[in-house]
Amino acid sequence: SLGAQAQAQMLLGRIAQVHLDRPEPARALALYDALAAAHPKSFFGQLAALQALLLRLYEPVPMAETVRRLAAAEALVSRFHDPALLADYHIAMFEAYARCRLDEPRQLDHLLAADHAGIVRLEQRNQTLFSTAELARELGRRQLAVAYYTRFLREFPTDFRAYHVQQRLAALGARAP
C-alpha cells in the first residue's frame, strides 16, 4: 500500500541518518526529500519534510548559510498539516534561531505558533511554556509572560522550576495561581 511504502522510505532515511556505523546524511536527505515531494499531504511525507529541514538547519555551515536556510525554511510552514508535526516544525525553527542567537521576536512567534498548533508531548509542552514566558519577559511583553508563567504553574505545579517561576511572577507584579 501507499502508506506502507511511505513508511518504508521514511525508515530507510532514518537508517541512513542515524543507524549506520557511518551515518549517511546526504543519502537520508535525498530519501526524505523524495518522500516529501511524492507524498506531501501524508503523515510520512510531512515527517520526511521535517527531518530534511532538521538536517539542513543543523548541518555545520557558515552563519550566512544558516541565515539563508532559516529564511528558506520559513516558507515551509504550509507543508505541515498534521498538528503535532506543525508544532514540531515551529519548535525546530525556534531552536534554530535560538541556537544562532538570531531574531528573538521571531523565536517568540514560533513558540506561540507551536503552542497554538498543540504540543502533544508533555516534556515538550512544559519546556515550550517556560521558554515562551522567559522570552516574552526578556522582550518586555509583560502580559504575555505573566500568562505563560501562570499557565506553566497550572499545568506543571511540581516542576523543578516552579519556585523560579513564582519569583518571576512576583518580580512582574503578578500573583502565582
Average pLDDT, the chain: 95
- Tell me the C-alpha distance between 94 and 114, whole Å: 9
How would residue 130 be classed by pLDDT, with cut points 50, 70 and 90? very high
Contact 94, 107 (CB under 8 A): yes
Cell 557558515 found at: 62
- Tell me the C-alpha distance between 117 and 46, whole Å: 15
Does the pLDDT of residue 1 top 80, yes or no? Answer: no
The contacts of residue 55 (CB under 8 Å, 6+ apart) are 17, 25, 28, 29, 32
Q: Give pLDDT, residue 153.
A: 97
- Tell me the C-alpha distance between 109 and 89, whole Å: 12
How would residue 5 be classed by pLDDT, with cut points 50, 70 and 90? confident
pLDDT tens digits, 47-59:
999 999 999 999 9
| H-assigned helices in the chain | 2-14, 25-38, 43-58, 63-74, 83-99, 104-117, 122-138, 142-155, 162-171
Count CA atoms within 13 Å of residue 1 on its CB side: 4
Q: Give pLDDT, residue 165.
A: 98
- State CA 95 to chain mean position distance: 6
Work out the percent of the chain whose per-residue pLDDT is above 70. 99
Contact 57, 73 (CB under 8 A): yes
In our burial notation (b when 16+ CB lie closer than 10 A, e otherwise), range 124-162 reads ebbbbbbbbbbbbbeeebeebbbbbbbbbbeebeebebe
Rounded to an integer, the average pLDDT of 101-113 is: 97
Residue 106, CA distances (Å) to 73, 102, 155 in order: 13, 8, 25
